[in-house]
Amino acid sequence: MALQTLADAFHDELRDILSAEKQLLKALPKMAKQAASADLQAAFEKHLEETKTQVERVEQAFEETGKVSRAKTCEAMEGLIQEAASMMEEEAAPEVMDAILIGCAQKVEHYEIATYGTLCAWAKRLGYSKALALLKQNMSEEVATDKSLTELSQAVNAEANA
């Protein structure tokens, strides 16, 4: 796909984040299963439900582009998920693994926040008001998840350091 205009770049990045969110739908249940902390498991399960809705919003954001909603493999998310999977194979005390899982999850959240920030800026510039509103909702949820993980990490990290 030739990226000649900002609209082309916007569409391409939408395809990328759609892939990222769909990949996360497969990874979150594995992370929840690996977590020892009930609170961390619940956080992953909550974000899984949010991610399902985020996929729907991204698909709806495509409407203003006039192009079909189709994912393009997000290599960044592939790498982040592969790194998390590798870390989950390590031998670690349950409390330490929970701290590791939070770190891996926050890397994902920060990637998503950066991507949604870019998409929101581009949607605003392009006059895609519906897409902007949808993408802002996703970004808001990603920021809230990151904040929740940071708060959760306080207790988890203390337990891991005991």
Whether 1 maps to a domain, the answer reads no
Whether 139 maps to a domain, the answer reads yes
User: How much is the pTM?
Assistant: 0.94
Sign of torsion, CA 95 149 47 106? negative
| Number of domains forming the structure of the chain | 1
State which residues form the domain around 80.
6-64+73-160
CATH of the domain at 132: 1.20.1260.10
Residue 82 burial class via C-beta count within 10 angstroms: exposed 0-12, middle 13-18, buried 19 and up: exposed
Whether 149 maps to a domain, the answer reads yes
- Please give the DSSP secondary-structure letter assigned to residue 65: G
Within a 10 A sphere around the Cβ of 119, how many other Cβ atoms?
Answer: 26
8-33: pLDDT as tens digits:
999 999 999 999 999 999 999 999 99
Within a 10 A sphere around the Cβ of 73, how many other Cβ atoms?
Answer: 13
Whether 37 maps to a domain, the answer reads yes
- Per-residue pLDDT band for 51 (boundaries 50, 70, 90) equals very high
